[in-house]
Amino acid sequence: MNEVLADVAPEPEPSDVVLTLGLLGGLCLLFVAAIVIVIVLVVRRNRQ
């Protein structure tokens, strides 16, 4: 099964790899930003 998929799927082009890494990097940044925002909100609530 895997061999058939490997034969059908073409080799990824550099541009595709860059796009994939860019999307993953963007998602990671969004994830980290969301965590930071949540922490800041919690800290502000605890201070009040």
Express each pLDDT in 12-27 by its tens digit: 677 888 889 899 999 9
Note the pLDDT of residue 46: 92
User: Which residue range is the domain that position 21 belongs to?
Assistant: 15-47
In a domain, 3, yes or no: no
- Which residues are CB-neighbours of 20 under 8 A, at least 6 positions away? 12
What six digits make up the tokens of 33? 């930003």
**40 located within any domain:** yes
Higher pLDDT: 17 or 8? It is: 17
Give the number of domains in the chain. 1
Give me Rg for the CA atoms of the chain: 20
Report helix, strand or coil for 1: coil
Task: Give the integer Cα–Cα distance in Å for 34 and 31.
Answer: 5
* 33 found inside a domain: yes
Burial of residue 47 (CB within 10 Å: 0-12, 13-18, 19+) is: exposed
